[in-house]
Amino acid sequence: MFTTIVLKELKSILVSPKFPVTFAVASVLVLLSVFMGIREYRASLDQYQAANALVKQEMREARGWMSLSNRVYREPDPMQIFVSGVHNDVGRLSGISTWEPVKLSASAYSDDLIYALFRFIDFTFIVQVVLTLFAILFTYDSINGERESGTLQLMLSNPVPRARVITAKFVGAWLGLVVPIMIPVLLGLSLLLVYKVPMTAEHWVRLGFLAGASLLLFTFFIAFGMLVSSVTRRSNISFLICLVSWVALVLIVPRAGMMMAGQIVKVPTDAEIDSQQDSFSKDRWNAHFEALSEKWSTRMEPLEGLPDAERTAKREEMEWAWAEEDKNDRDSMHAVIDGNARKLREDLRNRKGERERLAFTLSRFSPVSAFQLAAMNLAGTDIGLKTRYEDALEAYRASFNQYKTQKQKESGSSGGISIQVDSEKGVKIDVGREMALDLDGMPEFTTTRPSLSESVSATGVDFGLMALFSIISFAGAFAMFLRYDPRYAN
Amino acid sequence: MFKLIVEKELREIIGSMKFAVTFGISSLLLVLTFYVGARNYQVSAEQNETARRENLRKLEGLTDWGEVQNFRVYLPPQPVSSLVMGISNDIGRTSDIRGAGEINARDSKYGEDPVYAVFRFLDLDFIFQIVLSLFAILFAYDAVNGEKERGTLRLTLANAVPRSTYIAGKIAGSFLALAVPLLVPILLGALLLLAMGIPMAGSDWTRFALIVAAGYLYFGVFLSLSLFVSSATEKSSTSFLVLLVVWIFSVMIIPRTAVLLAGRAVDVPTVDQLVSQKSRYSASLWQEQRKTMADWRAPSDTPMDKVFPEFEKFMAGIDAERTEKMNAYGQRLNEERSNAQAVQERFAFGLARVSPSAVFSLLTTSVAATGVHLKDEYKLQALQYQKQYAEFFKGKTGRNPSGSFMFRMTTDDDQKEKKKINTAEMPAFAFVQPPIAAALGPVIMDFGILALFNIVFFAGAFVAFLRFDAR
Quote ipTM for the complex: 0.84
Distance CA B380, CA A287 (A): 39
Residue A76 is predicted with a pLDDT of 92
Quick check: A203 and A452 in contact, CB under 8 A? no
Count, residues in chain B:
471
Quick check: A117 and B361 in contact, CB under 8 A? yes
Q: What is the average per-residue pLDDT within A305-326?
A: 81
Q: Which residues of B428-461 are buried (b: 16+ CB within 10 A; e: fewer)?
A: ebebebeebeebeebbeebbebbeebbeebbebb
The number of beta carbons lying within 10 Å of the beta carbon of residue B183 is: 11
Please name which of A138, A159, A125 lies closest in space to residue A36, comparing C-alpha atoms. Answer: A125
The number of beta carbons lying within 10 Å of the beta carbon of residue A126 is: 26
Mark which residues 441-470 of A lie under 8 Å from B by CB. Answer: none
Name the closest residue on chain B to residue A36, using Cα atoms.
B260
Residue B382 is predicted with a pLDDT of 92
Confidence of residue A136 (pLDDT cuts 50, 70, 90): very high
User: With 60 as the cut, is the pLDDT of residue A433 above it?
Assistant: no
Quick check: A71 and A101 in contact, CB under 8 A? no
User: With 80 as the cut, is the pLDDT of residue A436 above it?
Assistant: no
Please name which of A416, A419, A421, A411 lies closest in space to residue A432, comparing C-alpha atoms. Answer: A416
Angstrom CA distances, A490 to A166, A233, A237, A238, A241, stand at: 22, 8, 14, 16, 20
Residue A210 is predicted with a pLDDT of 95
Residue A218 is predicted with a pLDDT of 94
Biggest alpha carbon–alpha carbon distance for chain B: 112
Quick one: how many helices (H) and strands (E) in chain A?
A: 18, 5
Please name which of A310, A330, A329 lies closest in space to residue A318, comparing C-alpha atoms. Answer: A310
Instruction: Please answer yes or no on whether A58 and B279 come within 8 Å at the CB atom.
Output: yes
Element (H, E) at A427: strand A426-430
A18, A118, A426 ranked by CB distance to B256: nearest: A118
The percent helix, strand, coil of chain A (3-state, each to 5) is: 70, 5, 25
Rg (CA), chain A: 33
**One-letter identity of residue B40:** N
Distance CA A333, CA A336 (A): 5
Hey, is A229 helix, strand or coil?
helix
Distance CA B253, CA B352 (A): 9
The CA distance from A181 to the nearest CA of chain B, in Å, is 17
Look at the alpha carbons of A488, A134, A466, A201 in this order and tell me if their dihedral is positive or negative: positive
Name the closest residue on chain A to residue B57, using Cα atoms.
A279
Distance CA A206, CA A85 (A): 15
Element (H, E) at A472: helix A460-482
Look at the alpha carbons of B194, B199, B203, B204 in this order and tell me if their dihedral is positive or negative: negative
A386: chain B residues, CB-CB within 8 Å: 111, 114
Highest mean pLDDT among A208-212, A289-293, B105-109, B179-183: A208-212
Q: Parallel, antiparallel, or unpaired for β A418-422 and A426-430? A: antiparallel
Instruction: Please answer yes or no on whether B51 and A17 come within 8 Å at the CB atom.
Output: no
Q: Please work out, in degrees rounded to the nearest 5, the angle formed at the alpha carbon of residue B35 by the alpha carbons of B32 and B38.
A: 145
Q: What is the pLDDT of residues A340-372, one digit of tens each?
A: 988 998 899 899 999 999 999 999 999 999 999
Distance CA B65, CA A200 (A): 58
Name the closest residue on chain A to residue B238, using Cα atoms.
A18
Mean pLDDT is lowest, of A74-83, A196-205, A425-434, B296-305, for A425-434
Residue A413 is predicted with a pLDDT of 60
Helix ranges restricted to H, A265-384: 270-300, 308-363, 367-379
Q: What is the pLDDT of residues A372-426, one digit of tens each?
A: 999 999 999 998 888 899 889 989 998 998 888 888 788 766 555 666 666 555 5
Residue B106 β-bridge partners: B94
DSSP string across A191-250:
HHHHTT----HHHHHHHHHHHHHHHHHHHHHHHHHHHHHHH-S-HHHHHHHHHHHHIIII
Residue B195 is predicted with a pLDDT of 94
A18, A21, A47 ranked by CB distance to B270: nearest: A47
A241: chain B residues, CB-CB within 8 Å: 21
Quick check: B104 and B95 in contact, CB under 8 A? yes
Please name which of B74, B85, B70 lies closest in space to residue B45, comparing C-alpha atoms. Answer: B74
- A93 interfaces chain B, CB cutoff of 8 Å: yes
Backbone torsion region of residue A122, taken as left when φ is above 0, otherwise alpha when ψ lies between -120 and 50, otherwise beta: beta
B344: chain A residues, CB-CB within 8 Å: 114
Instruction: Please answer yes or no on whether B280 and A58 come within 8 Å at the CB atom.
Output: yes
Name the closest residue on chain B to residue A17, using Cα atoms.
B238
Distance CA A397, CA A403 (A): 10
Count, residues in chain A:
490
Residue of B72, B95, B112, B418 to mutate when probing chain A, most A C-beta within 10 A: B112
A417: chain B residues, CB-CB within 8 Å: 293
With a pLDDT cut of 70, the percent of chain A lying above it is 94
B54, B244, B271 ranked by CB distance to A275: nearest: B54
Residue B237 is predicted with a pLDDT of 83
Look at the alpha carbons of A152, A157, A158, A164 in this order and tell me if their dihedral is positive or negative: positive
A62, A93, A272 ranked by CB distance to B54: nearest: A272
Element (H, E) at B309: helix B304-352
Quick check: A390 and A94 in contact, CB under 8 A? yes
- A106 interfaces chain B, CB cutoff of 8 Å: yes
Angstrom CA distances, B275 to A64, A107, A320, B271, B324, stand at: 19, 14, 45, 6, 17
Q: Residue ranges of chain B with pLDDT lower than 70?
A: 304, 400-418
Distance CA B141, CA B223 (A): 8
